[in-house]
Structure 1
Amino acid sequence: MARPLSRRTLIQAAAVTATTTAMSSAATGRAATAPGASAAAPDVPAAWTVRPFGLEDVTLGPGVFAGKRRLMLDHARGYDVNRLLQVFRANAGLSTRGAVAPGGWEGLDGEAGGNLRGHYTGHFLTMLAQAYRSTGEQVFADRIGTMVGALTEVREALRRDPAVLSVGGRFGRAAEQVRGSHQYVDLPAAVLGGAPALTLSAWVRPAHDAAWARIFDFGDDTTRYLYLAARNADGVPRFAVTTSGPGGEQGLVGTAPLPLDEWSHLAVTLADGTGTLYVNGTAVARSTAMTLTPAALGTLGNNWLGRSNFPADPVFAGAFEEVNVFSRALTAAEITELQSRRAADASTGRGDLASYAFDETAGATFADASGRGLDATLRRTWGAPSHPGFLAAYPETQFIELESMTASDYTRVWAPYYTAHKILKGLLDAYLATDDDRALDLASGLCDWMHARLSVLPKATLQRMWGLFSSGEFGGIVEAICDLHAITGRAEHLALARLFDLDRLIDACAANTDVLDGLHANQHIPIFTGLVRLHDETGEERYLTAARNFWGMVVPHRMYGIGGTSSGEFWKARDVIAGTIGTTTAESCCAYNMLKLSRALFFHEQDPAYMDYYERALYNQVLGSKQDRPDAEKPLVTYFIGLTPGHVRDYTPKQGTTCCEGTGMESATKYQDSVYFAKSDGSALYVNLYSASRLTWAEKGVTVTQTTDYPQEQGSTLTLGGGRAAFTLLLRVPSWAGTGFRVTVNGRAVPGTPAAGSYFGVSRTWRDGDTVRVSLPFRLRVEKTPDDPALQTLFLGPVNLVARESATHHLRFGLYRDAGLSGDLLPSLTPVAGRPLHYTLDGVELAPFSEGTEDPTHAYFRRWEPRVVFGGSDSGVANPARGDGTTLLDEIWAGAPFAGKDALVARVRSTVRAWVSDGLLSAADGDTVVRTARQATYAP
């Protein structure tokens, strides 16, 4: 499908983060590039020695990645984006169009009061942008346009004084206060007028059942006040008046809750020591001990509809109509009359102290019809309109409060700059995918706002902020700001990126000092991807050195077999893996961000270890974090992946919309982003991953089609198409690959000995139809945890095999009994017919970790080789062990691969001799072991 050409000068800076390739700016002097431009175009950072391709340049073929992506694309097509926009519109006081906010972290009722709301919308925008770039389907561009248009309206509304949201009422129009808008009605100080008697009358339509939300609240503070609450702690209306705080309240309490989303009439009369509470014309409470009146309260400073003098109380959510305040106690008959008509049409007439019909359809002022001229004003609890450029689903207050915090408290402030990053990144991706100027304007304005806020703070304040766990977390905001700077070229944007430097962490990692123990993992991983981008924009080596060293502190020292990291979101001591395994290991966001960092570092130095890690985490944790079933409401992605025995993955954590579900949506729409890279000068093409795909390399005028069912297939076929082109094809040789890695071109073997953990180059002038076949035999191997070598995880090539078993203790497996001369442990497993990559061992099913099922799994097992067995022949000799846990069989098979049986027997003989000499094995048992090894039959 044809794609729209961009008018922008683009470097797709998200190439170092997620998916994109070419983003630049006239301000930086880089040439204009269309979204579909090739990776080898000369408009990426000069520091990159290789360049990625765009998502539109690489098409996924059939296979496991396409299947997982299809599920996520269906979710992206079908989910109502108005639900995502609900919290933004509510915060701005706009109509939410009847949409219900998503659950979990994204609504007002989620964890910590929804203090992270808005982050998920940014993830969703990125997913849509990636989906559009990958497929060209107009539905994704249309959804982006809807969201960007709505966010533009939201920002404009936040810059204005609040305006009435007029809705249909009981008799005419009503004023709605959307939940989450923080709006209330401010009445003049003279509203009660010191009257000795009083009637409060109002039609209300509550929209939420929060306790203590006020309909009326007149007071100075929490000592002297008069209020009518829609619900008390028991859920029923309550009126109270006091001059001595809660302990001195004289009150009236209703008998039943007000129904939600229905109009109810409430009235309170107070005169001559008697107070009465009416609900829909019926007296539900009466007291003859109500000695306090407005006259006893005097003139009060805070006279509000919808807001409480107690700061912790919620703002009323719902609609107001026909609010009247009388200086006398209406009779029961008069209260009854107000059930069927407006006060103006009733015998009561309008309230003589104040009267608001709420017929206004615009503006922020409500006319008082009492004759006293006490017009009311619509206000926000957080004060004046927001500063220019501000865009969020909550007020600026979280950002402001963070600046004075000295200790973390996510119930007060929960990572506002993290949320800002997600929104910023989503807008940038939307702009790069659709060329919508509004998205760029929103992104640029948000950064302008952050710069105006942060640039005036002392450095010590910034360092304290960024060091706070959770509250000060800012995610990948630095890389996103650098990406914006590459578009705008504006100095303040680059200056903003540097304001997030957490110097003590950067300096320690630049010095290669490991300080990660005890740090929150996902708070810090994206910092280093940002540092790589800062290096690109500034040339400062300290940033790149810190990122490189940090990566080495995580891989492999804090890495689980599946590629994930963190335990309970935090890092523990270096090389403690077995000791950290639990139900909350391997947070999915951590794997997502480690992939981004690995990718960014590879652009600067082509260490194959980065792509080895990329394959490990992508083919195992990332694939396995997505459930293999459709769902219209949830992306079905894990938060944590527990690695304890018998763990069942939770694909709907915390009611949905967590950070990991957000990154999971992104991961599932960019699986192809690192399959191919091009050398900066166009002289070589890196094939990093073996994945069914088709690359269009526009600069060379060629296509590369990779046909494979990898990892079910142990190899791949690459077919060149298009014209003649000279370049070197660099094929990754995984670090786990054995001597069987072979390459043929048009059926002829390519000479050379590929080394594991390297790239194997094939240089030639390629022609249309040239075919390259890569043979990549898998071996079954174990990886031992460094702190408990007997606790191991099982790999077949790149695939982590897990046991499916409900037991909650570590299973015990032996694997040497049928090991082949190559050292391959696979002969000890029994294949499951018709199910590739599925095996049984001792009656237990083994399956790829990547399968997104809800089966109980064992990612780690206890290695148990009680006797010395060769080729299925049991010697009857106990398998001895050294003090460090290394067994005799471990030491023998460490010499694999063996050229033949004689070489294996020689290894057995020499090892036995050493163990006998060390007193770990008797001579007689040693002879038996050698004899058994000599007589056994082995697989290759």
Structure 2
Amino acid sequence: MMIDRRSLLKVAVVAPLATTATTGQAFAESAPPALRPFALRDVTLGGGVFADKRALMLAYARGYDVNRLVQVFRANAGLPTGGAVAPGGWEGLDGEANGNLRGHYTGHFLSMLAQAYGSTGEPVFAEKISTIVGALVECRAALRRDPVPLSVPGRFGTGLEFIRGSYQYLDLPPNVLGGSAAVTLSAWVKPTHAATWARIFDFGNDTTRYMYLTARNNNGVPRFAITTNGGGSEQAINGTASLPLGEWSHIAVTVEGTAGVLYVNGSQVAVNTAMSLNPAVLGQVRNNWVGRSNYAADPAFAGVLDDVNIWSRALTASEIAGLRNSPGKGDLASYSFDSGLSDATLRRTWGSPSHPGFLAAYPETQFITLETMTRSDYTVVWAPYYTAHKILKGLLDAYLNTGDARALDLATGMADWMYARLRKLSAEVLQRMWGLFSSGEFGGLVEAITDLHQITGNADYLALAKLFDLNSLIDACAANRDVLEGLHANQHIPIFTGLVRLHESTGEQRYLTAAKNFWDMVVPHRMYSIGGTSEREFWRARGAVASTLTDVNAETCCAHNMLKLSRSLFAHDRNPKYMDYFERALVNQILGSKQDQADPELPLVTYFIGLAPGSVRDYTPKQGTTCCEGTGMESATKYQDTVYFQHPEGLYVNLYMPSTVRWQNVTVTQTTAYPFEQASELRISGNATFDLHLRIPGWARKGVTVTINGSHHVGKPTPGSYLTISRAWRSGDTVRVEMPFTLRAEQALDRPDVQSLMYGPVHLVARDSRTAMLEFSLYRNATLSGDLVRSLTPVAGKPLHYTLDGVELAPFFEGTADPFHSYFRRVEPRVVFGGLDAGVANVVRDGTSFLDTVWSAAPFPTKTDFVTRVDRVADRFYAGEDRTRVTRTARHAPLWP
């Protein structure tokens, strides 16, 4: 069921803070935030670099066949996949760690589509959402029942299809072999995947006593084997050529006396005349299977079967050849599938139907196995609750943006299933699970579950959210004990956004205190200049920056989730530091994580950002569909989600971005080319009295000028604060904010001579293929404000591009594949002020140079203040003639404001 966007306003009113980027309003809460964001539909993004990046992602979203996304869900449920091909990378059975994360990308894609629809209202996005949700409804229903045979055209009549990923097999009646010493196994097979050791037949009790026929052994050829003493004692017959994929092949084996013969397409391909074992010596076995192995790690057969027969004798070569042209009729068993399965039973390797509400692209066993794991092994279990979060969040976004009640029903079903499962586990088991690296990762699940509680009012969901409390981490952060070193970064960042939501719903202060303290442990102590964090996905020691520069820094998911946490914390205490960070990470890492190129198959988003010298951004990491490409799709369709916040008496302008917001009885249109323009203008439409709060960026060293209607100056704004304008606004009023950028060099916390360049909010990188750290000098033309930009030469026709010592500098947010240097080594060998060389070495004491110490006090209101600073610092660094030269040069240097 779909509803129109106007009616949707009635639905969205129940949305909580964490989902207001896509929904809007909030329930009354125990500890409500002071501010609320706007729904995406209430903020229109104007033209510019953000809109250009978003346009690339919207084009990808419009064109991608979403039937590919649900292929793995359909396969897992045993439903026809319609020939759809699952996305590559992690989102498929062949993905990393056996595809144990499949389904996560579909959740991200749903969120992207929901945000795209919320932002643009284009029907194509709602239609795609409906297709995915409808498929998931069918999949959940199929998982709740016994598998249904999939009948397809067979070799002679009807064939039985085993979809890869359905984990289905045929269970034949007990004693189907009848104790016969001779046997013929025969079947028409049409394999669809080249997996080795997938069985056609397997009879046995375990991995010691069995007899099987497989389409492919390790060499890719058919193999028959029988043993009573395990794999090392198999008596076998091996074929000579692989069975072709997607084509019918007849395969048969006969065993009688000491001879075994393997046939393919009616021709004898291999013989073993020294066999001492036969089916009779196995006795009555427990497992009589078609399509499943007694070895649990072997894959189920994928393909189509027809005319499956078992005889109690060895058919002759001519009889085998005759089976190519007409169906057989085994005296022990015969299955043509024209009229069902006869006495066989279609089963799943993972057992009975799933529990009510379960929905995933893999069996419930991933969740069950996690409960007994004592150490992480992502090849066995890879973050099933993390994947559940992506699906749940996607469904909530779908419901809140389109009103599709089916999505909410799927979401509540998932939560009901989780609560039924987790509430039975002891606190000890839960703590062990959530503490496991990777396997126990649950992403932002607490946030999503708490949102669901707000939407439905179901108290069980709040109880469920609290079951994910990782107390060792929460208690440490609440006590302000930094325990982050060695932790997987993105496994833990989303936990704290969930804690903020829990604080809002429960009033428990410990949650909010832990989140605030955690944020301060990351920013700036584990933050790179682009705003990102982590090295090889992990946090290193507090303050370690320069010592951690590699080709695998700043996992993009971390920046995405730090932005979510920052906006949540800002909504509570309005501390401008959260928005200063938000702008840094958004304008640099998030914007720069999207390649400036269109692609119909890939979102082209980074995973890691290499910050070692000469790094190149990889926009197709790990064959695509990683966690970071998922969050990248979401980021690129909600750039405007934090530009404005609201409270009943006022409007907060947090970011400078071309956009229009509709609030109460007014519309505010922001016009700017930011960050190419160092100013922004806001125009009011409508009459109202309210407070307008303008963010004054912390980097604005040259000061900010605010005017109303072109003439009235508003106070003296303080960098790193909000300027409040209380006014009875009239239609046509304009507010102009001018904030000149300055070029500043930021020192790495653990090595002051390793630095990076920031021009206002923009991180400038050196485009250079050398892999040794570049060396730059910058103080020679520094101005009284501390601005270093006069040492750079602008590049004509390329805004925000400069050259320095022959090397081009460019904004990181440009999504190119050029090699770059984010950090350089600062080399200031001599004391130079305003281009005047004092002829004195720049002395270093206690790891800090004289010039660094002087300029750390910038900006200087007047030259007199600057000279006074030089004079005082020179007392600590120089004596005699050197000190005189330094202070004389400072007095005579032509310094710009």
The TM-score bracket by the shorter chain reads over 0.9
- Residue 330 (structure 2) aligns with: 351
The amino acid that maps onto 2:411 is A
Q: Deviations over 1:263-319 (max 9, x none)?
A: 110011111321110101111001211232222221111000010011111111111
- CA drift at 1:17: 5.0
Q: Distance in 1 between matches of 2:784 and 2:467?
A: 58
Residue 717 of structure 1 and its aligned partner are, at CA, apart by 0.5
Q: Is 1:15–1:54's contact at 8 Å kept on the other side of the alignment?
A: no
Contact 1:624 1:852 in 2 (8 A): yes
Q: Is 1:463 aligned to residue 438 of structure 2? A: no
Q: Which residue of the partner structure matches residue 195 of structure 2?
A: 210
User: Could you tell me how far 1:760 is from its partner in structure 2?
Assistant: 0.4
The reply on whether 1:378 has 2:363 as its aligned counterpart is: no
* 1:383 alignment partner, SS class: coil
- The match for 1:69 is 54
1:710 maps to 674
In structure 1, the gaps of 5 or more residues are 25-29, 31-42, 344-349, 368-374, 917-921
Asked if 2 retains the 8 angstrom alpha-carbon contact of 1:191 and 1:303, the reply is yes
Structure 1 residue 419 displacement after superposition: 0.4
Conserved 8 A contact 2:181-2:256: yes
1:906 is matched with 868
1:544 aligns with 2:512: yes
SS in 1 for 2:601: coil
- CA distance in 2 between counterparts of 1:655 and 1:18 reads 32
* 2:749 alignment partner AA: P
What is the DSSP-based 3-state SS (H/G/I as helix, E as strand, rest coil) of the residue aligned with 1:427? helix
C-alpha distance in 1 between matches for 2:14 and 2:585? 24
Q: Does 1:734 align with 2:697?
A: yes
Give distance in 2, aligned partners of 1:408 and 1:903: 59
The structural deviation recorded for 1:20 is 2.6
Indicate the residue corresponding to 2:130 in structure 1.
145
Find 1:577's aligned residue among 545, 562, 573.
Answer: 545
Q: Secondary structure at the match of 2:416?
A: helix
SS of 1:231's equivalent in the other structure is coil
Distance change (3 Å), C-alpha of 1:706 and 1:45: farther
Alignment of 1:68-107 (within 5 A): 68-107=53-92
* Kept in 2: contact 1:9–1:23 (CA 8 A): no
Contact 2:108 2:391 in 1 (8 A): yes
> Residue deviations 1:215-270, cap 9 Å, x none?
00011111111100100000000001112222222111100000001111001111
Distance 2:450 2:411 in 1: 12
Residue number among 103, 115, 118 corresponding to 1:133 in the alignment: 118
1:3 aligns with 2:14: no
Is the aligned partner of 1:567 residue 2:542? no
Instruction: Give the alignment of 1:657-672 within 5 angstroms.
Output: 657-672=625-640
Aligned residue pairs total 895
Instruction: Tell me which residue corresponds to 1:775.
Output: 738
CA contact (8 A) 2:831 2:837 kept: yes
Q: Please name the residue that 1:876 is paired with.
A: 839
Aligned: 1:931 with 2:888: yes
The Cα shift of 1:463 comes to 0.6
SS of residue matched to 2:727:
strand
Aligned to 2:855: 893
Counterpart in the other structure of 2:374: 406
Task: For 1:478-627, list aligned pairs within 5 A.
Answer: 478-627=446-595
Q: Which residue of 2 aligns with 1:915?
A: 877
Give secondary structure in 2 for the equivalent of 1:81: coil
8 Å Cα contact 2:708/2:714 also seen in 1: no
Deviations 1:63-92 (A, max 9, x none): 110000000001101111111111100000
- The alignment yields a C-alpha RMSD, in angstroms, of 1.5
Render the CA deviation track for 1:761-781: whole Å, top value 9, x for unaligned: 111111111111000111000
| 2:222 paired with 1:227 | no
TM norm structure 1:
0.94
For residues 863-893 of structure 1, the C-alpha deviation after alignment (integer angstroms, 9 at most, x for no partner) is 1001111222223321111122x11212222
Is structure 2 residue 724 aligned with structure 1 residue 761?
Answer: yes
Q: Would the aligned equivalents of 2:226 and 2:235 in 1 still touch at CA under 8 Å?
A: yes
Q: After superposition, give the CA deviation of every residue in 1:158-217 in whole Å (9 maximum; x if it has no partner).
A: 000000111111111111101111100000112111112111110001011111110000
Per-residue deviation at 1:902? 3.9
- Structure 2 distance, partners of 1:653, 1:12, is 38
Instruction: From the superposition, tell whether residues 727 and 7 of structure 1 become closer, same or farther in structure 2 (CA, over 3 Å).
Output: closer
Residues 702, 739 of structure 2: 8 Å contact kept: no
Hey, what does 1:372 align to over in structure 2?
none
* Distance change in 2, residues 1:20/1:236 (3 Å): same
State the Cα deviation string for residues 424-449 of structure 1 (Å, max 9, x = none): 00000000011111000000000000
Counterpart residue type for residue 395 of structure 1: P
**What is the aligned partner in structure 2 of residue 33 from structure 1?**
none
Counterpart residue type for residue 84 of structure 1:
L
Q: Residue type matched to 1:357 in 2?
A: S
Q: Aligned pair 1:694/2:660, yes or no?
A: yes
Offset of 1:663 from its aligned partner?
Answer: 0.3
Q: 1:267 aligns with which of 252, 264, 277?
A: 252
Within the alignment, does 1:794 sit opposite 2:757 as a pair?
A: yes
Aligned counterparts of 1:328 and 1:897: Cα–Cα separation in 2? 97
* 572-581 vs 169-178, greater mean Cα deviation: 572-581
What's the secondary structure of 2:845's corresponding residue?
A: coil
1:366 pairs with 2:341: yes
CA contact (8 A) 1:525 1:593 kept: yes
Q: Give how far 1:44 is off.
A: 7.1
1:931 maps to a residue whose letter is: R
1: CA distance, partners of 2:17 / 2:587: 20
Q: Aligned pair 1:282/2:267, yes or no?
A: yes
In the alignment, the residues of structure 2 paired with residue 894 and residue 401 of structure 1 have an alpha-carbon distance, to the nearest angstrom, of 56
Q: Is the 8 A contact 2:4 2:402 kept in 1?
A: no
**Structure 1 residue 420: Cα displacement:** 0.5
> Secondary structure, in 3 states, of the residue corresponding to 1:175?
strand
Q: Is 1:119 matched up with 2:98?
A: no
Letter in 1 for 2:661: L
Contact 1:9 1:487 in 2 (8 A): no
Match of 1:396 in 2: 364
* Distance in structure 2 (CA, Å) of the matches to 1:254 and 1:524: 51
Q: How far has the Cα of 1:14 moved from its partner?
A: 6.0
Deviation at 1:23, TM superposition (A): 5.5
Q: Structure 1's 440 and 629: CA in aligned 2 closer, same or farther, altered over 3 A?
A: same
Contact 1:12–1:20, Cα closer than 8 Å, also in 2: no
Amino acid at match of 1:165: L
Work out the CA distance in 2 between the residues paired with 1:82 and 1:913: 73
CA distance in 2 between counterparts of 1:292 and 1:305 reads 21
Q: Tell me the distance in 2 between the aligned counterparts of 1:383 and 1:316.
A: 16
> How far apart, in 2, do the equivalents of 1:242 and 1:889 lie?
81
1:370 — aligned with what? none
The residue type paired with residue 655 of structure 2 is L
Per the TM alignment, residue 46 of structure 1 is displaced from its structure 2 partner at its CA by 5.7
* 2:770 paired residue number: 807
* 1:548 Cα offset (Å): 1.2
Q: Pick the aligned partner of 1:181 from 166, 174, 187.
A: 166
Aligned counterparts of 2:453 and 2:530: Cα–Cα separation in 1: 35
CA deviation after TM superposition for structure 1 residue 151, in Å = 0.2
Within the candidate set 727, 735, 747, 1:784 is matched to: 747
How far 1:2 sits from its partner (Å)? 7.4
TM-score norm. by structure 2 comes to 0.98
Please give the alpha-carbon distance, in whole angstroms, between the structure 2 residues aligned to 1:93 and 1:66.
41
Asked whether the 8 Å contact 1:619–1:798 carries over to 2, the reply is yes
Where 1:536 maps in the other structure, the secondary structure is helix
Tell me how far apart the structure 2 counterparts of residues 545 and 899 of structure 1 sit (CA, whole Å): 38
Specify the alignment match of 1:39 in structure 2. Answer: none
Following superposition, the deviation at residue 7 of structure 1 comes to 8.0
CA apart distance, 1:937: 2.1
